[in-house]
Each structure stands twice: as structure tokens, then as C-alpha cells.
Chain A
Amino acid sequence: MFRFLIGRLLQGLLVLFALYTITFFLAKAMPGEPFTSEKNVSAETKANIRKLYGLDRPIWEQYYVYPKNIITEGSFGVSTSKGRSVGDIIAQSFPNSLLLGLCALGFAVGIGVPIGVLSAVRRNSWVDWSCMAVAMVGICVPSFTIGPLLQIYFAAHVPGLKVAGWGNPQDVLLPAFTLGLVAAAYLARLTRGGILEVLSQDFVRTARAKGLSPAKVIIKHSLRGGLIPAVAYLGPAFAALISGSFIVETIFQVPGMGQHFVNAATTRDEFLLLGVSLFFGFLIVVMNLLADILTGLLDPRVRIAGQSD
């Protein structure tokens, strides 16, 4: 297990390095200036601003200085469009995104897993089919259709809920629900598949044969093994939540990191772009690691494979 984790950590570093390299060179490949909004600026002033941000140095030096500053000074640079430190922007917006993401994950697990279990237990009945049809709807109907519909048919009629905005604790509910739906749909499909796989195995037949109640067979004998695909999906699910947050934050006007990322990409704000995407990458690496550990705890085969690796 230890060697397995070390390997995964090294791979995580490789991922961050690749993400940095791709983002850096793509940002450099964008034509034009990062300061185009400031018109009527003399060439001298422009040169000074470029110097201030270190943009006058050769590209390879910039490529190497940015990660160096992160490691040695913990500095993610200064946003060229907002004039504030990228670290500050992340520190201010990340708690909002985290709260949104965790609640969404809660909705996803709370809705997806029970539906998947129910579907598997009532396999090939109308319950199963309707559950899986609903899951497919969750995958196919985009959040930017569901979100606005929830705003007008739900938020507008339920006291205490706001159509958009951020400030009260309950404001997180609707965006989190919208964001969690897609992950819930995938979780339901994965849980169903996982449980069905376990239910067809010999030890489940044995458990049934010795007269255990159906509920006990499911809860005590099938759930642990059947949840492995769903748990392994938690890492990718988190990535999906981050991607989804770009949209949900726009719809519900949540002051989170997703908006900064999209703005940075459109305004050619390269330090903000690099900082936020590296931060996203870091979160993904950590979540994948957590999902691996959880999978290892649930599934002895993974632990043993990790040791012999």
C-alpha cells in the first residue's frame, strides 16, 4: 500500500507538471497583449508594465520562474486583469467553491447510490428501468437547462430560497443540487453495475442459502464490494464537479473559482489562468489519491496488488 501511494504521488506531480506545461505554452501562444483593455497607453508604459510582471524575460526563463516562485515563495503571481495577487483571488473564492462542491458531492452520493442499489435489487423490473431512464436524463439534460428551470419553478416559489446569489447558508442548496445531478446519474449507473456483479457471485448465493434476509444479504454482503466502482469514480466525479461548476457558478452567480478560470481564459490573464488551473489540478490529484486509498480499504485485492507491485 505504501509503495502504491508513493507511486501515485509521483504520478500526481507528473500530472501537475504536464498541466503547467500545456497551460503555459497555450497561454503564450495566444496572440495579442494581456493589457489590451488599457487603450491609449504609451509604448513606454506598456514596456514598464510588462517588465513589472516579468513578461519581458525570455520564455524559457518565465517557464522556469513561475513554478520556482510557487515552491520557494508560495506566490502564484499577480493577475494582469485584476491587479491582485492570484493567491488572494484563490483564497477568497475557493471556500465558496469548496462548499458548493462538497454539498454537490453529498447530493450526488445521497441520490445516486440509493438509486443504483434499488435498481440492482429490482433488476429488470419497471423500477429498474425507470431509475436508469432518470439517470440517463440526468446525463443528457445539461445543467444549464435544469438550473434555470429550477430557478423559475422552484426557487421563485419556495420561501427562503433565492433565484441567484450567495450569502445565506441555504443559497448553496440549488446550485449544489444542479451540480450534483450529473455525478448522481453516473454514480447510480456504476453502483447498479457493481452490485449486480457482486450479486451474481457464489458467496452471495451461500448467504442466501443459509437463510439470511434479502436486506441483510444486500447491506452486509453486497454493498461493500458493489460500491467499489462507485468509490473509484469519486476522483473523476470531483473533476466533473469542477468542470460543472464553471456553468453552475455562472447561472446562480456564485462567487467561486470557476468564473475566474473562464474569465482568465477569455481575457488572456495568464497568471490567473496558470494559478487557477494548477490549483484545480492539485485538487484532482488529491481527490484521486483519496479515492485510491478508499478503494484500497474496501477492496483487499487492490491492497495486495499494490504491495506486490
Chain B
Amino acid sequence: MPKENAGVTKHGSSLWKDARHRMAQNKFAIASLGVIVLMILCCFVFAWFCKDPNKVNLVNKFATPSGDHWFGTDALGRDLFARILYGGQVSILVGLIATAVSVAIGIVYGAVSGFAGGRIDAVMMRVVDTLLAIPFLVLVIVLQATLSTFSGDATNWIVENWGWNKELTGRLTNVVPLFFALGLFGWLTLSRIVRAQVLSIKEREFVEAAVALGYSKARILFRHVVPNVLGPTIVYSTLTVPGFIMYEAILSFLGLGVESPNSSWGVLIKEGANFLETEVQLLLLPGLFFSLTLFSLNFLGDGLRDALDVKASKD
């Protein structure tokens, strides 16, 4: 084996290396990443060491913040800090899982559309255009209203057949419709992005080589083309997470989303708005966590997108 480059550590600057470098220079995006990591640690790790978010204590309602209750208590005497962290779990999970659902659909749809080309491509993209013209929230409300009517039946079925705990199952079946209501129509823009990338990748030499080797179309598409689209697509999808978190809050605010005893940031803001005159912190504190997370996710998504913008790299 000839070792021409032995001892020489000269590497070409890859797309990802460039992107990482640009990312490191974007202080807003790095700070946002820090906030997000901290928020996830709080909601998913620290929350386990908090008080029970559902423990009602009517003697101690609307308590002011103290060493015992860091953010005070709500109208039923429940610890607000614990409720915000547990609510964050639901909000963040909805954002992430709905994004995963929409990425899965968007990648398959966009990749097939771009790879097939011609008439199939034209029809598939026209379908996307048509669905994009309908207000997302209108579709989501109708879909969520339909899906959530099956929650009760699903709970009973799971409890009967699988013997799960009824309360926990009820919480799960309350949240799961949201993942699909948001994800099932959330893939439209993503599929366009995937398609555009597939269009450029399918002209590359390694795809030609795969064709020459006689591989099937499905194998070429999913083993050779899609893996090359995956990275940038997932980066782009960072920008859809805050959108989904916002839509979850909107649905919950309208009474179509997460229901008690589950909590989410949308539910907490809605509850807080009822006691605005006297207890403004019940609205402000969940709103602060919510907005801070959205703010950071947006900045991080913008930063990642700018960092990966191939057009701006290597002149």
C-alpha cells in the first residue's frame, strides 16, 4: 500500500468542518445552544428531584415564592416550579417528536419526488403546493379534533389488553394525537428542501456508479442518495421545532391539546391568564420559560442554517 501522505496531516476542509467553524463564531447561536441544553437538563433530569407537580394543597394556594416553593404555588396549591419543568417535558417532547414525524415523511416524500422526476415529480410537488396554501392551523385543528376523540378508546384498549396503569396510559393517549396532528401536515416545506437536494445529488458520479453497478432504484435512493441528504435536512428541521412547540401551546390554549392532569407550557399559560389581576407570576413565569426556549431554538436554527449555507462557503 503506497503511503504518499504519510506523516502529512493536511486535510481538505469539509462542509461540516467549515460549518462547525462558522457556528463557533456565532455567539448568539452558541449561547442559544447553551440555553437549550440547560432547559433540557432542567426539564428531563432536574425535574425528577422536584416536588410532585400534581400534589394539590388547597390550604397553601397562591403562595408567594419561598425556599420551599421556588416559584410559589398555583390556584390548587401545586408547586409552580415543578409544574413548569414537567410541562416543559410535554412541550419539548411534542416539538421533537412532531419534528421527527414530519422529517420522516418529508424525507421519503421529497426524495421520491426529486428522484423520480418528470410527471410524478410535478404531481407530487403540486400536491405540496396545494396543501401549503391551506392555513396549517386549520388543518391541524380539524385533524387534532378527530384524532383526540379516539384517546378514550385507545386508553381502555391498552389497559384491557396490555394491562398498563390507567392514569399513565391516559396521559400518554392525551399527548400522542398531538404528535401526529402536527407532524402529519408539518412536512410540506421540508419535503421541498429534500427534493431540491436530491435533484443536485442524483447527478453526482457516485449515483452514476451505482446505476452502472445495476442496483435497484429503491436501493440507490435510500442507500446512496438519502444518507447524503439526511444531515442538512435534520439541521433545517431545527427551525421547525419552535414552530411545533408554539402550535402545541395554541392548541392547548384553545382546549384542543394537552389536558389536566397533564401540563404543558401552553396549559400553564392558559391557567395563569385566569388569575392575572392578582397573581401575574402564574402567567409570566411559564411564559418566560416558553419564550426563552423558542427564542433559543430560533437563534440556533438560524445559526445552523447560516453555517451550513453552501453558497456562502469557500469562495
Contact = CB atoms under 8 A, between A and B. Distances in A.
Interface of A: 11-12, 14-15, 18-19, 22-23, 26-27, 29-32, 136-137, 139-142, 144-145, 148-149, 151-152, 239-240, 242-243, 246-247, 250-251, 261-262, 265-266, 268, 273, 277, 280-281, 284-285, 288
B269 A142 contact: yes
- Residue among A140, A247, A250, A281 facing the most chain B CB atoms (10 A cut-off): A140
B50 interface: no
B130 A142 contact: no
A145 B256 contact: no
B139 A22 contact: yes
B262 to A, nearest CB: 18
A139 B269 CA distance: 17
Contact of B290 (A139, A142, A151, A273): A142
A243 B135 contact: yes
A149 B141 CA distance: 26
Given A243-B137, A284-B133, A141 B145 contact: no
Contacts of B254: 246-247, 250, 262
B27 to A, nearest CB: 12
B4 interface: no
A26 B141 CA distance: 11
A12 to B, nearest CB: 8
B291 A243 contact: no
Contacts of B291: 137, 140-142, 145
B308 interface: no
Contacts of B269: 142, 144-145
B141 A265 contact: yes
B276 A148 contact: yes
B242 A140 contact: yes
Nearest to A149: B283
A261 B283 contact: no
Contacts of B134: 15, 18-19, 22, 281, 284
Contact of A265 (B145, B266, B295, B299): B145
A119 to B, nearest CB: 15
A279 B160 CA distance: 43
Interface residues of A: mostly helix, strand, loop or mixed?
A: helix
A14 B130 contact: yes
Nearest to B139: A22
B109 to A, nearest CB: 16
A247 B141 CA distance: 12
Interface stretch (B161-169, B172-180, B245-253): B245-253
B151 to A, nearest CB: 11
Contacts of A29: 146
A145 B133 contact: no
A31 B153 CA distance: 10
Contacts of B141: 246, 261-262, 265
Given A243-B137, A262-B141, A142 B250 contact: yes
A31 B295 CA distance: 39
B143 interface: yes
B280 interface: yes
A142 B254 CA distance: 13
A151 B276 contact: yes
B283 A277 contact: no
Given A23-B142, A288-B133, 12 more contacts: A26-B146, A30-B145, A142-B290, A145-B283, A148-B276, A246-B137, A262-B254, A273-B142, A280-B138, A281-B134, A284-B133, A284-B134
Nearest to A129: B28
Contacts of A144: 249-250, 253, 266, 269-270, 273
Contacts of A14: 126, 130
A26 B283 contact: no
Interface in B109-139: 126, 129-131, 133-139
B237 to A, nearest CB: 18
Contacts of A136: 295, 298-299
B256 A262 contact: yes
Contact of A145 (B136, B255, B287): B287
B214 to A, nearest CB: 40
Given A243-B136, A247-B253, A139 B130 contact: no
Contacts of B242: 140
A265 B147 CA distance: 11
8 contacts: A19-B134, A26-B146, A30-B149, A140-B295, A141-B287, A142-B246, A239-B135, A285-B133
A246 B250 contact: yes
Contacts of B290: 142, 145
B150 interface: yes
B182 to A, nearest CB: 13
A186 to B, nearest CB: 12
B88 to A, nearest CB: 15
The 8 closest A-B pairs by CB, nearest first: A243-B137, A265-B145, A140-B294, A145-B287, A239-B135, A148-B273, A15-B133, A26-B146
